[in-house]
Amino acid sequence: MPSPTYSIVLPAYNESERIAATIEKISAFATQRGWQAEIIVVNDGSSDDTAEVVRHCAATRPGVRLLQNPGNRGKGYSVRHGMLQAQGEILLFSDADLSSPIAEAEKLFAAIAGGADIAIGSRWLKTELQLRRQPLFRRIYGRIFNLALRLVLGLQFKDTQCGFKAFNRRAAHALFPLQKIERWGFDPELLYLAERLHLRVEEVPVAWAHREGTRINPLRDGMHMFVEMLQIRWNGLRGEYRATPTLSRPL
């Protein structure tokens, strides 16, 4: 198989019921659009047969790869694992439920072709694109968290948490080796690092639909995310994000 232009990373935890359909949708769309693409599923210590389902898909689709985490490490660890193993020139990570349809990836890829280093999907730039909204309590929590990110980390994006983000290869290899947050708070960490490295980030409105079966517990994981936000700020103040010499050249 030729070297891929696109790498699509799917973090997966107990996704055996829908991961095959997700792979099929991505593969069919990639074929339709003529992409040279690989699909990397990162199994995050699932207790179901997610890994076996992906192996079965890979047996019939040469562009599908399975990576295994050493136990359940979190979404942030899974995304980093996949990104650092990806071979494409443009690297996208997506939620395994395809809350944003894979066709929306073309908007992110166009932003990168236009000069962005990172393109992040946004549910809030054009709310009319939300096909099915989150429950009200999750929307309220999201707005509070977004305000906290503006105050604590200085991030001015409307939506940091949409699980649909693309990177050019240079940006990915600058950012992911510096990432320290392994669970839900990794998204703002990446954007915080991108601003420190003077990478160009473009926020792109995408279609999105809330899916049932989300594994985020608003109270427990919400508290963890606020703690991780403070940890990001503390890491920055302590100089924990200093790039290695090969990454500290002007970007």
pLDDT tens by residue, 164-201 = 999 999 999 999 999 999 998 999 999 999 999 999 99
Question: In the structure encoding, which two tokens stand for residue 83, read together?
Answer: 């990104």
Residue 246 lies in a domain: no
Residue 87 lies in a domain: yes
Q: What is the CATH number of the domain that holds 131?
A: 3.90.550.10
Residue 243 lies in a domain: no
Residue 245 lies in a domain: no
Residue 242 lies in a domain: no
Counted domains in the chain: 1
Single-letter amino acid, residue 20: A
pLDDT score, position 247: 40
Question: In the structure encoding, which two tokens stand for residue 150, read together?
Answer: 């503006």
Report pTM: 0.89
pLDDT score, position 143: 80
The backbone torsions φ and ψ at residue 228, rounded to the nearest 5 degrees and listed phi first, read -65, -35
pLDDT score, position 249: 35
Range of the domain at 130: 6-237
Say which residues have a Cβ less than 8 Å from residue 84's Cβ, sequence separation at least 6. Answer: 172, 173, 176, 177
Residue 224 lies in a domain: yes
Residue 247 lies in a domain: no
pLDDT score, position 251: 34
Say which residues have a Cβ less than 8 Å from residue 4's Cβ, sequence separation at least 6. Answer: 36, 37, 38, 63, 87, 88, 89
Q: How many CB atoms lie within 10 A of CB 126?
A: 12
Residue 139 lies in a domain: yes
Sign of the dihedral through C-alpha 102, 5, 116, 10: positive
pLDDT score, position 186: 96
Q: What is the pLDDT along the chain (251 residues), one digit of tens a residue?
A: 678 999 999 999 999 999 999 999 999 999 999 999 999 999 999 999 999 999 999 999 989 999 999 999 999 999 999 999 999 999 999 999 999 999 999 999 999 999 999 999 999 888 778 777 666 667 777 788 889 999 999 999 999 999 999 999 999 999 999 999 999 899 999 999 999 999 999 999 999 987 665 556 666 666 888 899 999 999 999 999 986 433 433 33
